[in-house]
Amino acid sequence: MNNTTGAFGGDPMLAPRYMNIPTFMRTPFADDPSDVDIGLIGVPYDNAVTNRPGARHGPREVRNASTMMRTIHHVTRVNPYSLCRVGDLGDVPLPHLFDDQAVVDDIENFYRKVAAAGVTPLTIGGDHSITYPILKALGTKQPLGLVHIDAHTDTWDQFLNTKFSHGAPFRRAVEAGVLDPKRTIQIGIRGAQNADEGWHYAQEMGMRVVFIEELTERGCAEILEETRQIIGDRPAYVTFDIDSLDPAFAPGTGTPEFGGLTPIQAQALVRGLDGLDLVGGDVVEVSPPFDHANITALAGATMAYELLCILASARSSKAE
Ligand code: MN
Ligand code: MN
């Protein structure tokens, strides 16, 4: 691994956090996936949005904001860096940027290599369309379970003649046979719709759809208990759309929805996934051009750190 975060190598955590070239969490930049157990990966793509753009700038700003992240989790006392080798694998190259089917293929092929190297990927988007090709790469052996935290179910069909909008990834993943809808739970759903076809699809396929009102009424602990029952002990992926948070906490996103999760709820939900067989995760839809004082980038970096801790713990418990 090339340690680009320090001028002459050494521990990047010892340098002042505002110095040097920003990688995710100030981890070493890794050219070769076989050098890491958990790969932090950027996917700077937002051609699939249906409203405000800008998530293509997400990886860079989250890298910057993630310099605030430290090592030891203040609740669980997990130190992901002592459990696993963690490195920044850079951004997924997108040589066919203006051809949405080719972009899906390029992202899938990148993650196939990551998976073949035995790496657990933690991705920063990018709009939510990127999760479909990631699931395609990780769900080849068996359909994955999914913990999906979002204001939207992202199970709509075609939009303006494309199948690959950021409102469609989980419908496409079910069709591709890489996502098990009966082992999928979607948490934080809300917002008026012009058509309820996306919600219907999710429920008809057997996904558990938890609207924000139900979460608030029953509380995170109860929903997490149900999540563990739904996911079971087989492999699952976790995807965190930053628009699940209330726009007061995450204004920098493409499709903000009023009345969302608090940061405390979001952190409790992700921490509560500890013990599941998690094969990867992502944080998507951070749109820096619509952000204020970098609070959305900080939210994205912090939620990525929460995910890193549970992925490291899942991976190390499997190695034992
Ligand atoms: Mn989404
Ligand atoms: Mn969303």
Q: What pLDDT digit, counting tens, does each position of 205-234 carry?
A: 999 999 999 999 999 999 999 999 999 999
Beta-sheet strand order (sheet of 179-189)? 86-91, 38-43, 120-125, 278-284, 236-241, 144-149, 179-189, 208-211
What is the per-residue pLDDT for 9? 58
Ligand 1 is an ion; its neighbours by CB within 5 Å are: 128, 150, 152, 154, 241
What is the per-residue pLDDT for 20? 86
In terms of Cα–Cα distance, which of 36, 84, 74, 132 is closest to 264?
Answer: 74
Q: Cα(220) to centroid of ligand 1, in Å?
A: 20
What is the per-residue pLDDT for 30? 94
Q: Cα(228) to centroid of ligand 1, in Å?
A: 22
E-state strands within 56-164: 86-91, 120-125, 144-149
pLDDT over threshold 70, residue 3: no
Residue 8's pLDDT band (boundaries 50, 70, 90)?
A: low
What is the per-residue pLDDT for 288? 98
Q: Cα(245) to centroid of ligand 2, in Å?
A: 9
In terms of Cα–Cα distance, which of 93, 58, 24 is closest to 254?
Answer: 58
Q: Cα(15) to centroid of ligand 2, in Å?
A: 36
Q: Cα(256) to centroid of ligand 2, in Å?
A: 8
The proportion of the chain whose per-residue pLDDT surpasses 90, expressed as a percent, equals: 92
261-291 exposure pattern, b = at least 16 Cβ within 10 A, e = fewer: bebebbbbbbbbbeebbbbbbbbbbbbbebb
Q: Cα(211) to centroid of ligand 1, in Å?
A: 14
Q: Cα(35) to centroid of ligand 1, in Å?
A: 31
Q: Cα(254) to centroid of ligand 2, in Å?
A: 8
Residue 14's pLDDT band (boundaries 50, 70, 90)?
A: confident
CA atoms of 40 and 107, how far apart (whole Å): 14
Q: List pLDDT tens digits, range 244-265.
A: 999 999 999 999 999 999 999 9
Q: Cα(190) to centroid of ligand 2, in Å?
A: 9
CA atoms of 115 and 226, how far apart (whole Å): 29
Q: Cα(252) to centroid of ligand 1, in Å?
A: 14
Q: List pLDDT tens digits, range 67-78.
A: 999 999 999 999
Q: Which ligand is nearest to the CA of 165?
A: 1
Q: Cα(241) to centroid of ligand 1, in Å?
A: 5
The pLDDT mean for the chain works out to 95
Q: Cα(276) to centroid of ligand 2, in Å?
A: 23
Q: Which ligand is nearest to the CA of 247?
A: 2
Q: Which ligand is nearest to the CA of 155?
A: 1
Q: Cα(149) to centroid of ligand 2, in Å?
A: 8
Q: Can you give the pTM of this predicted structure?
A: 0.97
Q: Cα(240) to centroid of ligand 1, in Å?
A: 8
What is the per-residue pLDDT for 1? 58
Q: Which ligand is nearest to the CA of 168?
A: 1
Of the ranges 35-39, 192-196, 244-248, which one carries the lowest mean pLDDT score? Answer: 192-196
pLDDT over threshold 80, residue 280: yes
Q: List pLDDT tens digits, range 130-171.
A: 999 999 999 999 999 999 999 999 999 999 999 999 999 999
Q: Which ligand is nearest to the CA of 131?
A: 1
Ligand 2 is an ion; its neighbours by CB within 5 Å are: 150-152, 241, 243
Per CATH, the homologous superfamily of domain 6-319 is: Ureohydrolase domain (3.40.800.10)
Cα-trace Rg, the chain: 18
| The dihedral sign for the CA sequence 111, 112, 117, 119 | positive
